[in-house]
Each structure stands twice: as structure tokens, then as C-alpha cells.
Amino acid sequence: MSRRLPLFFLLLLSLWLAACYGLRFAFMEDGQWVGVCAEAADRWECQLRSGLGLMIHWRLLAWAALLSAVLGFIAPGRVGKALAAIGLFLALPALALYTASFAVFALVIAALRLIRAPRLTI
């Protein structure tokens, strides 16, 4: 693995986390959208906001992140690393969007899988 790949991965994770917090504060918590969606609930922005609210309520992102991280921890080789990376990318919006209880475990499990040294086979 090249030395630039982890740096690129960390940069991508940082941008993804910033985008998730931007979504939270500019779209979900902004009082402007509460007023707009109270008047015209059939707008696509309000439907998206409602769908995100249901995903938060049912903790879908956190459960998907946890499932992906656990499968990534168990799976060997590149498949495990890919599943752990998916779990990590799903855990960040779950953390930003109010479902930190499960997302923290998914984040830790995925990160442990990604930094785990490869197993030596004899």
C-alpha cells in the first residue's frame, strides 16, 4: 500500500464528516426549513428532510454501519477492509445525525479492522 492512500483516505473522511455536519446544521436544524415545510410539505426538499428524519428515527444509518463494520471485522482480506471502510463512511453521518449510540461502536470496530495488521499464514 502506498503512503499516499491513507492520507487520501483521511482527507476524504474529513470532507465527508464536514458534509454530514453541514447537512445537519444547514438542513435539519435550520429554522427556515421548519417554516417552509410547515407551509408546503409536498416540496422535494421537505420530503427529503422527512425521509432523513425517519432514517434518524429508525437508526438505519447506525444499524447499516454496525452491520457493515462487524462483517468487515470478520471477513478476511480486501473484502473485510472494504466492508470496514463502508462501515466507517456510514458511521460518520450516523454520528452527525443524532444516532451516536450505535455509530460509536461501528466507528471503533471499523477503525480497528482498518488498522489491523495482516495475518501471517504459514
Q: What is the DSSP letter of 26?
A: I
Residue 2: is its pLDDT beyond 60? no
What is the rounded CA–CA span in Å between residue 81 and residue 29?
Answer: 34
d(CA 9, CA 15): 10
Which residues span the domain enclosing 108? 4-115
Check residue 63 and give its pLDDT: 96
Structural domains of the chain, count = 1
Tell me, yes or no, whether 120 lies in a domain.
no
Instruction: Let me know if residue 75 belongs to a domain.
Output: yes
62 falls within a domain: yes
Measured distance CA(14)–CA(97) in Å, rounded = 16
From its phi and psi, is residue 48 left (phi > 0), alpha (psi between -120 and 50) or beta?
alpha
Q: Is residue 88 part of a domain?
A: yes
- Residue 42 falls inside a structural domain: yes
Q: Within a 10 A sphere around the Cβ of 77, how many other Cβ atoms?
A: 9
pLDDT digits (tens, 9 = 90+) for 37-73: 889 889 999 999 999 999 999 999 999 999 999 999 9
